[in-house]
């Protein structure tokens, strides 16, 4: 039995879950999310959401924990939302936001423009003495992670000087550079 899949999900106050023909919908104070499911059953029992599988095939076992995690993330998203912060470490690295357009100067010869989906709220702040900070907020965990990964892929952190786009609080493994020959 899946250890993750058999854990019930507590349903907080103000969140409503409906299951209809393989589509789970979560409505909460921050918004509404839907997820298609197959090979598992979702039931609401005593203020908890319980995910159970129909059979014992390998695919059903693997989807059991997956769908339980996805439904748990939906409930967390419509209740509290998700937030990701990234730092732009490097001389002259800047970020500005105009509506849903993120304008980035990352040490290239050109400015990079990144269109952010409407479901994600983006902010950029620059404090003197600290690297610029870009923050993504949304109710959809997968979308926040995908947008953050796309931003990071524009200038991944390098191991020698630590320049690049990194998550706030992330510890980078630094390498020693070449030593001069005597």
Query: What's residue 78's pLDDT?
Result: 96
Question: What pLDDT is attached to residue 2?
Answer: 58
Ranges of the chain with pLDDT below 50: none
Say if 122 falls within a structural domain. yes
174 domain residue, yes or no: no
**Domain end point (choices 33, 51, 79):** 79
**What CATH number is given to the structural domain containing 88?**
3.90.930.12
The reply to whether 67 and 93 lie within a common domain is: no
Domain count, the chain: 2
Among residues 79, 105, 127, the one where a domain terminates is 79
The two beta strands, 133-138 and 164-167, are unpaired
Residue ending a domain, among 79, 111, 133, is: 79
pLDDT in tens, 155-170: 999 999 989 999 999 9
- Selection from 8, 24, 29, 28 nearest residue 16 by Cα: 28
Same domain, 106 and 139: yes
Which residues are 133's β-sheet partners? 87, 125
| pLDDT at res. 3 | 83
Same domain, yes or no: 48 and 113 = no
- The sheet with strand 94-98 has its strands ordered as 94-98, 101-105, 112-115
Rama region for 34: left / alpha / beta (φ>0; ψ in -120 to 50; rest) = beta
- Residue 109's φ and ψ, nearest 5 degrees, are -75, -5
Co-location of 53 and 86 in the same domain: no
Q: What pLDDT score does 18 carry? A: 93
Same domain, 102 and 122: yes
- Based on the domain organization, do 160 and 90 belong to the same domain? yes
Most distant CA atoms of the chain, gap in Å: 74
4 domain-assigned: no
In this predicted structure, what is the pLDDT of residue 182? 64
Q: How buried is 139 (Cβ within 10 angstroms: 0-12 exposed, 13-18 middle, 19+ buried)?
A: buried
Can you give the residue range of the structural domain that contains 44?
9-79
Q: How far is CA 128 from CA 94, 104, 125, in A?
A: 12, 18, 10
* Residues 159/173, Cβ–Cβ less than 8 Å: yes
Q: What is the pLDDT of residues 114-132, one digit of tens each?
A: 999 999 999 999 999 999 9
Q: Is 119 found in the same domain as 63? A: no
- The predicted structure's pLDDT at residue 94: 95
Does residue 2 form part of some domain? no
Q: Are 106 and 153 members of one domain?
A: yes
pLDDT, position 179 = 80
């Amino acid at each position: 039995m899946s250890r993750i899949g058999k854990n019930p999900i507590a349903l907080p106050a103000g969140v409503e879950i409906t299951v209809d023909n393989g589509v789970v919908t979560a409505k909460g104070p921050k918004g509404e999310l839907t997820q298609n499911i197959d090979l598992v059953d979702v039931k609401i029992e005593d203020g908890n959401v319980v995910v159970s599988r129909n059979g014992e095939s390998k695919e059903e076992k693997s989807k059991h924990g997956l769908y339980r995690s996805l439904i748990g993330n939906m409930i967390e998203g419509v209740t509290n939302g998700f937030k990701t912060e990234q730092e732009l470490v490097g001389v002259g690295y800047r970020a500005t936001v105009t509506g849903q357009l993120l304008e980035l100067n990352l040490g290239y010869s050109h400015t990079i423009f990144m269109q952010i989906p409407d479901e994600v709220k983006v902010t950029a702040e620059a404090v003197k003495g600290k690297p610029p900070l870009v923050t993504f907020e949304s109710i959809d965990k997968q979308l926040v992670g995908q947008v953050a990964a796309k931003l990071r892929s524009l200038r991944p952190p390098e191991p020698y000087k630590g320049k690049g786009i990194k998550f706030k609080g992330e510890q980078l493994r630094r390498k020693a550079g070449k030593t001069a020959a005597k």
